[in-house]
Amino acid sequence: MSDAVNLDAMIRRDDFAVKGSQIASAEPIKSLSVETLSSSGMLVPLLRKPDFQRETNHWTPVQVVSFLESFLDNELIPSIILWQSESYVFVIDGGHRLSTLRAWIEDDYGDGQVSLAFYSNEISSAQRKIAAKTRTLIEERHAHSWRTAL
Q: What is the pLDDT of residues 28-37, one digit of tens each?
A: 777 788 888 8
Half-sphere exposure at residue 77, Cβ-oriented, CA atoms within 13 angstroms: 21
Query: What is residue 82's three-state secondary structure?
Result: strand
Q: How far is Cα 81 from Cα 92, in angstroms, rounded to an integer?
A: 5
Q: Which amino acid is at 30?
A: K
Single pTM value for the model: 0.87
pLDDT score at 1: 47
pLDDT score at 112: 96
Can you list the positions of beta strands (E) in the chain? 13-14, 47-50, 81-84, 89-93
pLDDT score at 6: 96
Q: How many helices (H) and strands (E) does the chain have?
A: 5, 4
> Which residues of the chain are modeled with pLDDT < 50?
1
